[in-house]
Each structure stands twice: as structure tokens, then as C-alpha cells.
A and B are shown apart, each in its own frame.
Chain A
Amino acid sequence: MTKILQALVVEDSPTMRQLIGFALRRIPDLEVDEADDGVAGLKKLAEKQFDILITDINMPIMDGLKLVSLVRKDEKHKDIPIVIITTEGAAEDRQRALNLGANAYITKPIQAPQVIDCVRKLLDR
């Protein structure tokens, strides 16, 4: 029996959260949870085990770089695959996120097939 995996989408834009959620729900046996900023994301991560984290970089209260850095220090989620959402022009931010431990990035404007392929590869689905 295939295990149901859990994805957490941390993104302050409700439009993006909904769009990424639609894309991810096309992946079989993957459930999707959401948070609207880094602090809310950390709270969700403390409450349950997730198998993949997708996060924006530019968010209020706590940005994605800080979130990635804290997740990598968390014993429960230190090895979780992390995907960051970025604009192509933000090469510095992107490199910083990868240096902090993010595994992959998706550039805006986002395309559902790109999101699905990226997450599938990281989850080996």
C-alpha cells in the first residue's frame, strides 16, 4: 500500500497558494497543507511530519530564507526536501537558499507541469 505523503506550501499570496495546491493535488497519494508566512509554516512543521516543503522567499513576518535555515536545524525535518519559489532575477536569493539547504527552485511565472515535475522528482514519485 502506497504511503500518503504530506506537502506543506508556505506562501503569503492566496493566489499562489491555491495554484500550487491545484498542481500538487494532481500527484497521487500526496496531501497538501498551507501556511501564509514563515512563522505559520514553522508552527505547522512543529505539529506534524511533512515530506516536502515548498516555500516562497519574499514573505512578511518571516521570509523563506529564514524558514529554510531554521528547518535545516530542526531534528524532525532537517532532511526534508525543500523547494523555493523565486523570480529569475533574484539569483542571489536563490543561491543563498540553495546554500542554506534548499534542494530545488521554481521560477515565476509558475507553470503547473514545472511544479509537478520538481516535486515528483524530489519525492521519487
Chain B
Amino acid sequence: MSERKKEQDGLEFLRTFKRGVEFTEELMAENVRLRDRLVDLEDQLASEGDKQVDPEESQSQRKSMELENADFHRRHGEIDAEYDRLAKLYVTSYQLHSSKEVKQVMTIVSEVLINLVGAKSFVFYVKKGTKLVPLQATGCEAEHLDSYNKQHAIAKALEAGELWLDDGHGTRGTGVVPLVTIPLRIGHAGLGMISVLSLLEHKECVTELDQELFRLLGTHASTALSAALLYAVVGDEAELVERLIDQIGLALGGDGKAP
């Protein structure tokens, strides 16, 4: 993936996040408006309860209120779903980038797959030569993918740094063949892959939000892993900070020395 594409993807993510926040704020404001309207209508209905009302007019008003109620519930559901989506994306990104150890990053990825997506079985692979070697398997036995056939759709998606979805991703998966594969790359270099084989019993299929989470994992997990590795290599937090300051200075055109 080119640097330009990575930058574009990053900007697109920020724009999506910002649009999501704006949308949520608009919907929450409308939520308040609709709630107030509902209270007004209920008060109105209560105060007119004793009056002699034309039955037809009463039915028409009731129907109008029912339609408003239904619209209110629909909008409320949209707000809740959007909030849930933004919260999951934020928490995933936050947790990945707040991890300082490789093992912690791997744990966070597993937690996201199980607790946020509802994956039942999945495998972490690392790339070694032309092979994908399983590093860790959850909910299944992992086999080496010895036949790294570059013509296979999964391999092509991996090379392109793209998510791959099986045609049957509208199901829970078999637990034997991949349902979804998530490429792990650092820059142009392939690090490995996460293969999701099946979902929990009550989870019907891979959703659009799940796909967003997979894409987030694919890019951010790799970055978080490389940061954790850097932290492990340097070892000392104070030295890491000093080296970072030097690098920031260099990047900004200074002499590269900490002040």
C-alpha cells in the first residue's frame, strides 16, 4: 500500500469519524426534540381526555401520534446504532495504541474479535517466506498454510493489503475454512494475517460494522505491534522518549539533539 494511499485512508478515517460525531450530535438533538414533542402530545391527550371529541378526529390524532411515535423509535434506534459503532471503533483504536507490549496488543486483538465482533474461532498467522505459519489459534486447531498459492483469492487480497470475505460471509462460517481474512502489514511488508473461521452461535453473520472493525484491526494492530516492538527493543522508557524527541526535532528540521 503506497504512503499516499495510507495517508488518504487515515484522512478518510478521520473524516468518517468526524461525520459520525456530527451525525450523532444531530440525531441526539433531534432525539431531545422528539421526546419533548411526545411529552407535549401525551399532555395534550391527557388534558383532552374528558372533553367530548369527535371520534373521527380522535382517531386521526391517535394515528398521527402513532406515526410520530414510530418515527421517534426508528430515529432513536439509529442514534443508538451509530453511537455503538463509534464507541467500538474508538475503543478498539484506543486500546491498541495504548498497549506497550506485543503480548498485550495480541490480547487486545483477540478481545475485540471475541467481545466486539463475536468471533468464535480465529487464527493469527505470520508470514515466513512463502508460508503463513500459525502463531496462535483460538477456538480451533490451526494448520500451516504451506501452499501459499499466489493465485488464490486470499493470497491476492493479502498482497494487496485488503480484507477478504468469503462468499458465505452472510453465515456464521464453518470453522474449517476462512470466513474473513485480515491482512497485517507494516508499510509494504506483509507481517501476516488473521483468519476468522466462525462466529458465535447467536451471531448470524459478519456485519458492516464488523468489516470496519476488521479493517481497523488490520491497519492499527500492525502499527501497534511495531510500536510495542520498538518499546521492547529500546527497553528504557526515558531513553525511548529522548530518542523520539531527537527524531521529532530532525523531522522538523532541527539538529536532531534534545534541548
Contact = CB atoms under 8 A, between A and B. Distances in A.
Contact of A18 (B84, B91, B114, B203): B91
A23 B112 CA distance: 16
A16 interface: yes
Interface in B81-139: 81, 83-84, 87-88, 90-92, 94-95, 108, 111-112, 114-118
Nearest to A109: B118
Residue of A87, A107, A109 with most partner-chain B CB within 10 A? A109
A3 interface: no
Nearest to A111: B84
A116 B77 CA distance: 12
Contacts of A116: 80
A16 B111 CA distance: 8
A88 B202 contact: yes
Given A87-B200, A112-B87, A15 B80 contact: no
Interface in B191-208: 200-203
Contact of B203 (A19, A109, A112): A109
Residue of B87, B90, B92, B201 with most partner-chain A CB within 10 A? B87
B92 A108 contact: no
B115 A16 contact: yes
Contact of B80 (A22, A87, A109, A113): A113
B73 to A, nearest CB: 12
Contacts of B92: 15
A22 B116 contact: no
Interface string A80-122: 0000000111000000000000000001111111001000000
A113 B95 contact: no
Contact of B202 (A13, A15, A23, A107): A107
Given A13-B111, A87-B200, A112 B84 contact: yes
Contacts of A15: 91-92, 95, 108, 111-112, 115-116
Interface string A1-42: 000000000000111101100110010000000000000000
B83 to A, nearest CB: 6
B99 to A, nearest CB: 9
A42 B15 CA distance: 43
Contacts of A89: 200-201
B88 to A, nearest CB: 7
Given A19-B91, A110-B116, 12 more contacts: A15-B111, A15-B116, A19-B87, A19-B116, A22-B87, A22-B91, A88-B200, A108-B118, A109-B115, A109-B203, A111-B84, A116-B80
Interface of A: 13-16, 18-19, 22-23, 26, 87-89, 107-113, 116
